[in-house]
Amino acid sequence: MSATPQKNRAPRRVLAAAAGLATVGALVAAMPAGAHDRGHGHGHKPRTVDVQLLSFNDLHGNLEPPAGSAGNVSETQPDGTVKAIPAGGVEYLATSLRTARKGNPYSVTAAGGDMVGASPLLSGLFHDEPTIEALNGLDLDVTAVGNHEFDEGATELARLQNGGCHPVEGCYEKGKKFKGADFPYLAANVTKEKTGKPLLRPYTVWKKNGVKIGFIGVTLEGTPDIVTANGVKGLKFHDEVETINKYARELDRKGVKSIVALIHEGGAPASTSYNYDCDSPGAGDGISGPIVDIAKGITPKVDALVTGHTHQAYVCTVPDPSGKPRMVTSASSFGKLYTDTTLTYDRRTNDIVRTSVKSANHVVTRDQPKAPDMTRLIDRWNRLAAPIANKPQGWISADINGRGSTAPEKPLGNVIADAQLEGLAPADKGGAEVAFMNPGGIRADLVHKASGSEGDGVVTYGEAFTVQPFTNMMNVVDLTGAQLVAALQQQVSGANAASPKILQVSRGLTYTLDLTKSGADRVVADTIRLNGEAIDPARTYRVAMNEFLAGGGDGFPALGAGTNKLVGASDLDLFNAYLAAHSTATAPLAPPATDRITVIQ
């Protein structure tokens, strides 16, 4: 007999032998836990193996440590006080992950989306190629797409995955072609409108020594509401739960019983401290928001949920549809934390032993050694960015907080809205009377301390870009007073009822926000004034906003109803022009008062 048929036959014999062992297996399974965890010295593999799942989310191209308050994480101390710890930066993230992996032969690293997009200049200037390169170096195994992965559209996302130089700007380094991500981007709930086919892979299976774990990745179904229309053109976004359940069934049929869902949607823990116990008093009691309903709907076939989008830190157990606890985690943002989850894999069932899943968030501290390969990567791209990044735009006398401010009205929000109003008020520029800025579009703080050699108080182009990295074109439109009032009410009602999105408003617009009330009533309609006068529902007002808000984005359909549109300069250009006009080295811009929105709590 030739050798080939023999080869084909061997597995069948093994299967037959395994069938005879089933009864022995049942006996082993009934033994006390410790008895079958260890090998018995006869070449037996232990029944279970611990798989380390390291995860993070919402990096947003923050290769360098985020500046100011946006670079801190809150930690509750044993005495109950809360301490701010500076964290993040890929030089430290790389060290943290590499240290965590030591002594864990089975380790897989996954991410929950928004790895790129809304990135600081160092990455944003180069269409996020530096971040993909850094993630390759971090040994990321898989990530879900987030809404920001669609900022530049499906074609650009495909380029980030597959490589190739930018279609307009070409290759950034002589003789070097961008290689793309060496990890799969998963987009299970995103299909092409024309063909109905998935845009990218819906899932991937991580394998090592017979251990198999399936990863399904989805972004939030509401992605089209928070991305410019161009970014999501020709795409359909589907229900997260239905999609995950569909592919979990498919993986299960293929014999993959251990499944992790990567979901770019999240929740809000009751405390912002990363070490808060959100399973107190009971499982999942300390967390609210969209992820809770999603977690409760996802099939028990899925063993753990890595989430993101809300930039919060939590490690909770939310019961699955069968009532069993299941781990739901999120690691803040900007690479400030990573989650370390232990998944106990049963080699006989190929499934995760859910009762022994352990998880915790860890701070990516800045007092550990920097990873030299990441330092080299940052230095290399910084040299390319320097001529643009280091140009001074203006001067500030102290920190002007935007992203790092938790107040409804943010000092930097006021500066940005004022810059937009000033730039678009002239008749030939649109005749704007009021400007609105969406809070999610403010990506950082303006920090007084120097980021490089420019000196304290100097705002560089790189720093301004980090605050407003989208370079949205500005629009000025006609809205009636009634539409204007409706827009302000939409901050706290409709799509924004559960988590309000408070618009930053230009000087001259004032009103009261009563958070003791519910829904639209939280905006006290008869307090709304523009330059001291009540809003006339029938009058037409010229309103400035970025193109994203003018398209009704972020749950503001009233703003999307504007007419007689004039397209102006970009938000970043107006911001820089304002800094130049209102600050000098001897008379720097001071943080403005926040007295436009009166808040009742």
Percent of the chain whose pLDDT exceeds 90: 91
Give pLDDT tens digits for 412-436. 999 999 999 999 999 999 999 999 9
**Strand order through the sheet with 523-530:** 533-534, 523-530, 509-514, 597-600
Smallest CA-to-CA distance from 267 within 221, 339, 229, 316 is with 316
Q: For helices 290-297 and 240-253, what crossing angle results, to 10°?
A: 30
d(CA 249, CA 247): 5
Residue 45: pLDDT band by 50, 70, 90 thresholds?
Answer: confident
Cα dihedral value 163, 164, 165, 167, nearest 10: -110
pLDDT digits (tens, 9 = 90+) for 237-257: 999 999 999 999 999 999 999
H/E/C letters for each residue in 214-250?
EEEEEECCCHHHHCCHHHHCCEEECCHHHHHHHHHHH
Main-chain dihedrals φ then ψ at residue 551, nearest 5 degrees: -90, 10
Kindly state the average pLDDT of the residues 35-45: 50
- CA-closest candidate to residue 264, choices 438, 415, 58: 58
Mean pLDDT, residues 395-410: 96
Question: What is the pLDDT averaged over residues 307-334?
Answer: 97
- Average pLDDT for 452-467: 96
Helices (H), 340-395: 372-389
Model confidence pLDDT, tens digit, residues 197-226: 999 999 999 999 999 999 999 999 999 999
Q: What is the CA radius of gyration of the chain?
A: 26
Residue 388 has pLDDT above 70, yes or no: yes
**Could you write out the three-class secondary structure of 21-43?**
HHHHHHHHHHCCHHHHHCCCCCC
Rounded to the nearest 10 degrees, the angle between the axes of helix 372-389 and helix 129-137 is 170
**In the predicted model, is pLDDT for residue 36 greater than 50?**
no
Q: What's residue 23's pLDDT?
A: 35
The pLDDT of residue 211 is: 97
Alpha carbon distances (Å) from 168 to 74, 95, 351, 591? 42, 35, 47, 38
Q: 540 to each of 207, 428, 480, 507, 536, how far by Cα in Å?
A: 62, 18, 4, 19, 8
Question: What sections of 333-438 are H helices per DSSP?
Answer: 372-389, 411-424
Single-letter code of the amino acid located at 238? H
Confidence of residue 308 (pLDDT cuts 50, 70, 90): very high
Identify whether the C-beta of residue 524 lies closer than 8 Å to the C-beta of residue 513.
Answer: yes
State the pTM of this model.
Answer: 0.90
What pLDDT does 143 receive?
Answer: 98
The residue-averaged pLDDT of 9-14 equals 34
Residue 174's alpha-carbon distances to 6, 130, 381, in angstroms, are 54, 15, 13
Quick one: pLDDT band at residue 540, thresholds 50, 70, 90? very high
Q: Is the pLDDT of residue 22 over 70?
A: no
Distance of alpha carbon 280 from alpha carbon 298, whole angstroms: 22
Residues 469-479, buried b or exposed e (16+ Cβ, 10 A)?
A: bbebbbbbbbb
CA distance 87 to 211: 34
- Looking at every residue in the chain, the average pLDDT score rounds to 93
CA-CA distance, 7 to 245, in Å (whole number)? 38
As a whole number of angstroms, the distance between CA 431 and CA 534 comes to 20
Residues in contact with 324: Cβ distance below 8 Å, sequence separation at least 6, in sequence order:
300, 354
Tokens 């869902």 belong to residue: 261
Can you give the pLDDT at residue 5?
38
| Statement: residue 493 has pLDDT above 70 | yes
Q: Are 409 and 597 in contact (CB under 8 A)?
A: yes
Looking at residue 44, its pLDDT comes to 75
| Confidence band for 43, pLDDT divided at 50, 70 and 90 | low
Residue 78's CB is within 10 A of a number of other CB atoms, namely 5
